[in-house]
Amino acid sequence: MLLEVRDLNTYYGASHVLQGISLTVNSGEIVALLGRNGMGKSTTLKSIMGLSKARSGSVVFEGRDITGHPPYQVARWGIGYVPEERRIFPNLSVLDNLFLGVKHGKKAGAGDPEPWTVERFFHHFPRLEARAQQKGRFLSGGEQQMLTIGRSLMGNPRLLLVDEPTEGLAPLLVREVRDILAEINKAGVSILLVEHNLKVAMSLADRLYLMGKAHIGFSGSIEDLKANPQAREKYLEV
Ligand SMILES: Nc1ncnc2c1ncn2[C@@H]1O[C@H](COP(=O)(O)OP(=O)(O)OP(=O)(O)O)[C@@H](O)[C@H]1O
Ligand SMILES: [Mg+2]
């Protein structure tokens, strides 16, 4: 098992926003975490990454207990994080934005998969290669999203936590971002994906978790979810 989250409890002040979240990601998988607004999806990713402090519970990554460690340390251990709000540097070029990501991750070691380089990144994201010298702020929303994903890849993560990558994108770009995530996964990166677009999630994920308020209400395969309209209605459809 690559990632095991067990019984996480996280608070914002007095509000208990994660009440015993448990989930797993196996090596090579794409696992989707879905649910309505405000259920705690982003907080789950932040709690794994060490950006929100879990009060109890544990996060084990590649057999190492990483609970409560700071984000930069978690990144060095091999977890990349693509936040909901795209955090590119508007006044830096695409290339410099990518180089910034190189510093944050871990150095590739013997036995690790092929390291990500700027060249390799551009091979997967030709749309950004054409704009390598352009400043971040001139990129479209979708291109900024790709750049954020690319920057986190520069740290050579074995697991990528991706929060709503297709939010607000036009259909064509939704498909491009979807395809890129599939390619990254094929290249050996496991993914925990928070997604509001059910079609995208179902087309990518090996397994799904659906969140109700502060808890996981359903977990299973795509087939399990298709066979369970009650779960879809309870946790997804408005
Ligand atoms: N920094 C914060 N301080 C206080 N409360 C917060 C903070 N961040 C989130 N919350 C609250 O915690 C709960 C869970 O938020 P979270 O962002 O994890 O939900 P989400 O499932 O990602 O929602 P969305 O689909 O809207 O992104 C919500 O009630 C939210 O209002
Ligand atoms: Mg969120």
Give me ligand 2 centre to Cα 231, in Å: 20
16, 39, 47, 215: residue to mutate for ligand 1 pocket, most atoms within 8 A of CB: 39
Q: What is the pLDDT of residue 86?
A: 78
How many Å apart are CA 226 and CA 235, to the nearest integer?
Answer: 13
Check pLDDT > 80 for residue 27. Answer: yes
**pLDDT band, very low/low/confident/very high, at 1 (cuts 50, 70, 90):** very high
Q: What is the pLDDT of residue 211?
A: 98
Q: What is the pLDDT of residue 110?
A: 63
Q: Which atom of ligand 1 is nearest to the CA of 52?
A: 1
157, two tokens: 């993560």
Q: Which residues contact 200 (CB under 8 A, 6 or more apart)?
A: 166, 174, 178
The per-residue DSSP string of 8-26 comes to: EEEEETTEEEEEEEEEEE-
Check pLDDT > 80 for residue 187. Answer: yes
Which of 138, 137, 149 is closest to 101 using CA atoms?
A: 149
Check pLDDT > 70 for residue 103. Answer: no
pTM (2 d.p.)? 0.94
Nearest CA to ligand 1 atom 29: 38
Q: How would you label 56-77 residue by residue, b for 16+ Cβ within 10 Å and e otherwise?
A: ebebbbeeeebbebeeeebbbb
Q: Which atom of ligand 1 is nearest to the CA of 84?
A: 27
Give me ligand 2 centre to Cα 194, in Å: 8
**pLDDT band, very low/low/confident/very high, at 238 (cuts 50, 70, 90):** low
Range of the domain at 151: 3-235
**Environment class of 90 (CB within 10 Å of its CB; exposed 0-12, middle 13-18, buried 19+):** exposed
Nearest CA to ligand 1 atom 5: 12
In contact, 25 and 209? CB cutoff 8 Å: no
Residue 53: give its domain's CATH number.
3.40.50.300
Mean pLDDT, the chain, integer? 93
pLDDT tens sequence across 134-168: 999 999 988 999 999 999 999 999 999 999 999 98
| Number of independent structural domains in the chain | 1
In contact, 166 and 197? CB cutoff 8 Å: yes
Check pLDDT > 80 for residue 107. Answer: no
Check pLDDT > 80 for residue 67. Answer: yes
**Which residues approach ligand 1 with their CB closer than 6 A?**
12, 17, 35, 37-43
Give me ligand 2 centre to Cα 37, in Å: 7
Q: Quick one: which ligand is closest to 196's CA?
A: 1
Helix axes 141-153, 94-104, angle to 10 degrees: 30
Check pLDDT > 80 for residue 106. Answer: no
**pLDDT band, very low/low/confident/very high, at 78 (cuts 50, 70, 90):** very high
